[in-house]
Structure 1
Amino acid sequence: MGGLSLVDGWLPIVLLAVGGIALFGLLTRWGRGAVVTVVLAVLVAALAYAGLNPLLVDALDLLPEPLPRQVLIWIALGLGGVVLAVGSLFGTRPGRKVLALVCGLLVLVSAASQINVYFQQYPTVSALAGTGDERSFAGGHGAPSRPMTTPVASRWRGPATAPSSIESAPIPGTVSGFTARDAQLYLPAAYNSPNAPLLPVLVLVAGQPGGPEDWVVGGTLQALMDDVAERHGGLAPVTVVVDPNGADGNNTMCMDSDIAKADTYLSVDVPRWIQANLGVDSNHAHWSFGGWSFGGTCALQMATRHPDLYPNFVDLAGEREPAISADRTQTIRIAFHGDTAAFDALTPLTLLAQRRYPGVWGYFACGGEEQEVGAWQTEVSTAAQRAGMTVRTQVVPGQGHSWGVPHASLPPAMDFLGPRLGLTAPNAR
C-alpha cells in the first residue's frame, strides 16, 4: 500500500473521478440560496484563478515566479467546491449538510491530488505519510578523505555488499554563522560496503520554498542515485543535500548578503564538513553541485563563483538569476540595501560575461511545458558556452515545473559528468 503511486496509475484517476462526482453532487442542490451559492462559488473560483499570482508574486512577494496555469485551475476548483459545500449548510436538512461536507472534502482531496500529479512532490502513499526509513548519520566508513588523482572507476571493481542508505546529519555554519536544517545524505552501496572506495561528491539543493527532505521525498533521491550506480558498475557519488535557507519561507539566494552568509556556508562550511566526516575523494575535480529550481540557480552560482570547488554542475529548471521577488529592485533592496552593482557583480550572467571557464562542465534541463524557464535555460546555457564551459542541455517532454524534470534528467546528467567525477574509466565505452 505504501508504494502505491500518487502521480500515475489508477489512484489519481479514481480520485479525479470521485472529485467530479462530488462536485456534481454539490451543484445539484435546489432550493433557497442555491443560485446565490453557485454564483459565489464561480466568482471565488474566477477570482482565485485570476488573482492568486498577482497576490502571491507581485503584492506579497511570497513567490519569485507565477504558479502554473494547471495548478491555478485546480486551486480555483477546490475553492469553488468549498464555497458550494459551505453554502449547502444553510437552509438544508441535516443529511444534506453531512453530504455537503463529505462532498466538499472529496473535491479538495481531488484538487490536491491533481496539484500533486503536476508537481510530483509526493510520488507514493508512503512518501505522503512520511513513513521513510531515514536514520541519523553515525559516521563514515573509517577511511579519511584524501585527494585521488585517478578515477574511482579504475580503483574499484566491487562488488558492493551492503545496500545504499539515506541518512541525516547537521552541518554547522562554523565560519558563516549560518543555521541550516539537517542535511540529507545518500550513501551509495559501494560506500557502505567493507571494501569502500573513496567516492566523488555531489552536493544538491532543493527548491524554495522547500528543504533537503524534498530531494528524498519528491525527488526520490535514493532510487535515482541507485539507478546512477547501476549504470556505472555500482558507483555513484556520495550525495549531500544541504540547506542554504534555514526554513521553508526563507530565501538567501545562495549569496553572502544582508540576509545571511549563505555563499560562505556552501563554499566553506559544507565542503569542510564533508571532507572531515564522510571519507570521500577530496579532489574537487571530482566534485559537482546540483539542484532543482532554486537549487538549479544555486548550482550555477556555485560553479561561476567557485569553479575551483565545484567545477561540475547540474542546473535543473533554475532561473536566469537569483531572486527573492519578481520585482528585481525589491530583491536588491532586501538583500543588498539597494546596491545594484553589488548584486550584479555576483550573478552568473555577469560572471559568465566577464570570465572564462574552460575547466567547467554543466548540465541544464527543464520541462518542455515551462516556456519561461526554457527561455532562461537557453540564455544562460548559451552564455556558459561562450564563457568556455562544456555544456549539455535537455528538455523533458510533457513536464512543467515539477519533480518529473529531476526524475528524468539527474541520471543522464550523471552520465554526462561521469568521466569528470571518475564514475567512468578513461577508456570505457
Structure 2
Amino acid sequence: MIIMSVSHLSLLATPTLVISYIVAGIFAVLLVIKPRKRKTWWRHVIIAAILGSAIGGTVIWYVGDVQNAFDVPPTWVDRIWTGVLVAGICVGVVNLIGTTWIRRVIAAFGIVAIALASGLAINNDVGEYLTVGQLLGTDTTASLVLPRPAHTGVTGVDSDLYATWKAPAIMAKRGRVGSVTIPGTLSHFSARKALVYLPPAALVANAPALPVVILLSGQPASPSSVMTSGHVPEIMNAMAKKNHGLAPIVVVPDQLGASSNNPMCVDGPLGNSATYITRDVPDWILGHLHVQKGAKAWAIGGFSQGATCSIQFAAAHPTLFGSFIDVSGQKYPTLGSDAQAIQEGFGGSTAAFDAAKPEAIMKANAPYEDTVAFFAAGQNDAVYSRNTDVMTALASQAGMHVTRYVSPGSAHDWTTATNGFSHGLGFLYPRLGLSKSVVSE
C-alpha cells in the first residue's frame, strides 16, 4: 500500500515543488555557514559555486545546443537549474573535505536535496513526468476490461453517427482506460503494453461501432505519457460529455520498444516499428474492439517523435489513416545526427533514409484525395514552429486539407502536446461522425 501511495505521488503538484525548494534552500544555507577554524572557507565556497555554475552551464550548452541531444534547445529554466545543481554539488564537496562527520552528513543530504529540487524544477518546466511511478517506470494501469457483453466487430464508416445515436438514460459519465498487450505478430517488434481509452458510449449495451484514433508518444516516453502527461482521458471525457457520450476509441501503442529507443518508425535494424503500427496494431484493434473500418474513421497523431511518425504513416498509408495530428513533429526522422541515423537505422543506406522522409513519401503518393492534416506547435518553440511551417506547406502542396494551431505561451513540452491533442481531436470530431461541428474541450 505504501509503495502504491508513493507511486501515485504527484511530481508537479505545488506542495511537492514548494516543499522540495524549501528543503533544498535550508540545506543550501547550512552548506555555506562557516565552520569554526576555517579562515579560507568563504573563498572555497565562492570558487566552488562559481565553478559549479560554469560547469553546469557549459554542460547543458554542449549537450543541448551543440550536440542537440534533446532535439530542442534547453530553456532558461533548464539552464539555470542545471547550474544550480552542479554548483550545489561542488559546494557540497567542499563540505565533505576536512570537516566533522555531522557536517559531512549534512553535505550528503544537502546534495541529494538540491539534486531533487533541480530535477523537479526541470521536470515541471517540460511536464514530462506527473508521478513518481511514471518517473520510475513502475506505474501500472489495470488491464482493459471490456464491457459485458463484450463488443467487437467491424462496420463501415458512419459519418452521421452523432445524428442517429441515442444515448441510454443510464450511462457512465467518464470513459475507461486500461492496458492491453498488442503482439508484434507480423513485425516481431518488442513493444511495451499499449493503453486504450473507451468512451462512455462504448461501455453501454448495444454500443455503436466507433471511429479510432491512434496516438503516439514522443521520445523518450511511454504510452502512459500520452494518457497522463497529455491528459487524453480528461480531454476525451470532456468532449464526450458534450456529445452524449460519443468519442473515438483511443489506442496508444508503443512505437519505441523502450523509452531510450528510437527506431524512427521505419522497418530497419532498430526494429520493425512501421509494420507494428500499420499492421499489427490495426489488426489487433479490428479483432478486439467494436470499431468502424475505413480511412475516414481512422486517425493517427502524436507529439514530437510520435508526430513525425504520424505524418510518415498517414502519408504512406492514406487508405488506412484519413487524418493525422502532428504536434511539434520533426521534418523527418533522425537520431542525434543524420549520419548516425543513416548508419544505425538504415544500415548505411542514404537512399533508404531519404525515402523515409515525409516530403519524399508525400511526393510519391500525391495528390491526396481526402487526407486531413492538423499541425500544432508551441508559441515559444522556435525550432518546431519552423518545422511546422515547412511541413504544412508540403502537405498543402500534396493536396492535403491542412489546419494549423499555435499553443499559446508554451514551448516543446507536454502543455503544447495537451493543447494540440485537445484542439486536434476536437477539430476531427465532425469528420469522425461524432458531432455536427468542431468541438472544443
Give, in angstroms, the shift of residue 7 of structure 1. Answer: 3.5
> Which moves more between the two structures, 394-403 or 287-296?
394-403
User: Structure 2: how far apart are the matches of 1:310 and 1:35?
Assistant: 64
Partner SS state of residue 209, structure 1? coil
- The answer as to 2:317 corresponding to 1:306 is yes
Match of 1:337 among 339, 347, 350: 347
- Is 1:352–2:362 an aligned residue pair? yes
Per-residue CA deviations over 1:182-213 (Å, capped at 9, x if unaligned) read 11111112112224211111101111112112
Partner residue of 1:25? 30
Matched, 1:240 2:251: yes
- 2:123 corresponds, among 110, 116, 121, to 116
Whether the 8 Å CA contact 2:295–2:318 is kept in 1: the answer is: no
More displaced stretch, 296-305 vs 105-114: 105-114
User: Pairwise mapping of residues 266-345 of structure 1 onto structure 2 (< 5 A)?
Assistant: 266-325=277-336, 327-345=337-355
Q: CA 1:353–1:177 in structure 2 vs 1: closer, same or farther (change >3 Å)?
A: same
Matches within 5 A, 1:26-425: 26-29=31-34, 31=38, 35-52=43-60, 54-55=62-63, 63-123=70-130, 134-139=141-146, 141-159=150-168, 161-162=171-172, 163-325=174-336, 327-354=337-364, 355-425=366-436
Query: Aligned letter for 2:56?
Result: A
AA at the equivalent of 1:321: Y
The alpha-carbon distance between structure 1 residues 425 and 132, as it changes in their structure 2 partners (threshold 3 A), is farther
Q: For 1:286 and 1:25, locate their aligned partners in 2 and report how far apart those are by CA, in whole Å.
A: 61
- Asked if the contact 1:227/1:411 (under 8 Å) is kept, the reply is no
Q: Which amino acid letter does the alignment assign opposite residue 136 of structure 1? A: S
Shift of 1:339: 2.0
For residue 240 of structure 1, report the CA deviation from its aligned partner: 0.7
Q: Quote how far apart the aligned CAs of 1:234 are.
A: 1.8
Shift of 1:410: 1.4
Residue 427 of structure 1: how far off its partner (Å): 11
Is this contact kept in 1: 2:297–2:432, CA < 8 A?
yes
Amino acid at match of 2:309: C
More off after superposition, 100-109 vs 361-370? 100-109
Deviates more, 1:303-312 or 1:132-141: 132-141
Query: What amino acid is aligned across from residue 47 of structure 1 in structure 2?
Result: I
Offset, 1:4: 8.0
Q: CA RMSD in A?
A: 2.9
Deviates more, 1:39-48 or 1:109-118: 39-48
For 1:298 and 1:306, locate their aligned partners in 2 and report how far apart those are by CA, in whole Å.
12
Provide the C-alpha distance between the structure 2 equivalents of 1:157 and 1:17, rounded to a whole number of angstroms.
54
> Equivalent residue of 1:280, what SS?
strand
What's the CA shift string for 1:224-250, capped at 9, x where partnerless?
Answer: 221221233321111111111211121
Alpha-carbon distance between aligned partners in 2 of 1:165 and 1:111, rounded to the nearest angstrom: 35
Distance 1:428 1:240 in 2: 20
For 1:129 and 1:173, locate their aligned partners in 2 and report how far apart those are by CA, in whole Å: 25
Alignment coverage as a number of residue pairs: 427
1:98-117 Cα shifts (integer Å, max 9, x gaps): 33333323222221221121
C-alpha spacing 1:298/1:102, structure 2 compared with 1 (3 Å)? same
Task: Render the CA deviation track for 1:356-402: whole Å, top value 9, x for unaligned.
Answer: 22411111111122110111111111211222211221221221221
Name whichever of 12-21 and 388-397 sits farther off.
12-21
Deviation at 1:145, TM superposition (A): 2.0
2:57 and 2:177 map into 1 onto residues whose CA distance is 39
Structure 2 unmatched runs, 5+: none
- Matched residue type, 1:153: Y
Q: Distance in 2 between matches of 1:128 and 1:256?
A: 29
The residue identity in structure 2 corresponding to 1:419 is: P
Distance 2:345 2:371 in 1: 28
- Describe the superposition over 1:95-140 as per-residue Cα deviations: whole angstroms up to 9, x where unpaired: 3333333332322222122112111123467866989772112446
With the length of structure 1 as denominator, give the TM-score of the two structures: 0.90
Contact 2:307–2:329, Cα closer than 8 Å, also in 1: yes
Structure 2 counterpart of 1:89, one-letter code? L
Aligned partners of 2:214 and 2:251 also within 8 Å = yes
User: What amino acid maps onto 1:15 in structure 2?
Assistant: S
Amino acid aligned to 1:146: T
When normalised by structure 2's length, the TM-score is: 0.87
Deviates more, 1:3-12 or 1:384-393: 3-12
Query: What is the letter of the counterpart of residue 155 of structure 1?
Result: T
**Cα distance per residue 1:294-331 (max 9 Å; x no partner):** 11111111111111111111111111111112x21221
SS in 2 for 1:268: helix
Q: Is the 8 A contact 2:158 2:292 kept in 1?
A: no
Q: Verify the 8 A CA contact 2:56 2:85 in the aligned structure 1.
A: no
Question: Structure 1 CA distance, aligned partners of 2:94 and 2:216?
Answer: 44
**Residue 246 of structure 2 aligns to a residue in which SS?**
coil
Task: For 1:56 and 1:43, locate their aligned partners in 2 and report how far apart those are by CA, in whole Å.
Answer: 20
Superposed CA offset, 1:163-186 (max 9, x none): 421111111111112111111111
Give 3-state SS (helix, strand or coil) of 1:363's partner.
Answer: strand
What runs of 5+ residues in structure 1 fail to find an aligned partner?
A: none
- 2:96 counterpart SS class: coil
| 3-state DSSP of counterpart to 2:213 | strand
Question: Structure 2 vs 1, CA of residues 167 and 20 (structure 1 numbering), >3 Å: closer, same or farther?
Answer: same
